[in-house]
Amino acid sequence: DIQMTQSPSSLSASVGDRVTITCRASQSISSYLNWYQQKPGKAPKLLIYAASSLQSGVPSRFSGSGSGTDFTLTISSLQPEDFATYYCQQSYSTLRYTFGQGTKLEIK
């Protein structure tokens, strides 16, 4: 299976900060990369699909970039509701869509 590695595993930041989370694939996955946000006790929510496409209804402060093996999720100006855990997921491997281990974003 394709392995997905996120960094950092946890991150402390303040409201208004610009934050970047990185996801690296063990092999090239073209642009087949999704980002999800999960809040405690809730199901994951799709933020970004196909590496850089913003899901409908998601604030424009979220953006994604990258292709091949290296990808980033950027939050341009952190809001209080953005403190959550973020996961990347590859959809390149046919019907075996592995996740990264998650990045927990906490309030500084």
Partner 1 sequence: EVQLVQSGAEVKKPGESLKISCKGSGYSFTSYWIGWVRQMPGKGLEWMGIIYPGDSDTRYSPSFQGQVTISADKSISTAYLQWSSLKASDTAMYYCARRGGGSTQGPYWFDPWGQGTLVTVSS
Residue ranges in contact with partner 1 by CB under 8 A: 1, 30-34, 36, 38, 43-46, 49-51, 55, 87, 89, 91-92, 94-102
What the block records as the tokens of 11 is 């991150």
| Cβ proximity to partner 1, 6 vs 82, nearer residue | 6
| DSSP state at residue 82 | G
| Cβ proximity to partner 1, 3 vs 77, nearer residue | 3
State how beta strands 70-75 and 85-90 pair: unpaired
Residue 82, number of CB atoms within 10 A of its CB: 20
| Cβ proximity to partner 1, 34 vs 82, nearer residue | 34
